[in-house]
Amino acid sequence: MDLRDKVAIVTGASSGIGLAFSTHLVDRGANVYGLARGEERLRRAADNIGEAFHPIVCDVSDADQVQQTVERVASEAGRIDVLINNAGIGMSGSIDEISVEDWDRAMAINARGVFLCAKAVIPHMRRQNAESGFGGHIVNIASIAGLLGNPRLGAYNASKFAVRGFSEALMKEVRDDGIKVTCVYPGSIRTSFNFGGGSASNPMTMDDIAGTVMHVLETSDNYLISEIVMRPLRPRG
């Protein structure tokens, strides 16, 4: 996909790798609708990235907010070419320590949010495929924790394993509609998103991750990278 003049939705766009995704997309000529819960952070992101970044306050775990947001983007921009499901929260603690409320919150943002956003954009991408022969690309940001279980990360593991299973099912469901689905499993990244005490002392950079996702998006229309695992080569330096 040539990203020039394309329309992308990025969730969790106000900081961390979501901000990096948004910046790289705009640098390639895309228009980005950045979603996050914090209005002030979104405003700062817009100031830094420029007018091609359109901030929208949205809680991705809220079905009504997600649907209204996606319809707004489709109405304003006329199309939706890319969705990067990046919003997520960390959660650590042993299973007998984690509250039911915290478990539900992790699942609501990390897994339910991915489902709600994908569900909302798919009809628009299917319509684009009918018109042009290519629908769009959904990228779900999981984690190495979606491939390997870790003590004291049970809630986070469960939510990211859910993203993995959902992504594989969705990929098989919509590929004939000209919609790509890619699930990304990053290891340790140099970002403020850190919990559980297991991060590497020599992590990858946010630009490493964003650059790879841009490569995935820019592949030719009939070429699908459905999964990609990212790790620091020397995690301890």
- Ranges of H-type helices in 50-112: 63-77, 100-107
- The neighbouring-strand residues paired with 32 are 8, 53
Tokens linked to 93:
């603690």
156 is catalytic: yes
Neighbours of 170 (CB within 10 A): 20
Tokens linked to 167:
């992504």
Tokens linked to 125:
């991408």
Q: Tokens 């499993």 — which residue?
A: 185
Nearest-angstrom CA–CA distance, 125 and 174: 10
Q: Where are the beta strands (DSSP E) in 12-52?
A: 31-36
User: Residue 147 carries which side chain, given as an amino acid letter?
Assistant: L
Nearest-angstrom CA–CA distance, 165 and 190: 26
Is 93:157 a contact under the CB 8 Å cutoff? no
Q: Considering 33, 156, 185, 223, which one is annotated as catalytic?
A: 156
Catalytic residues: 156
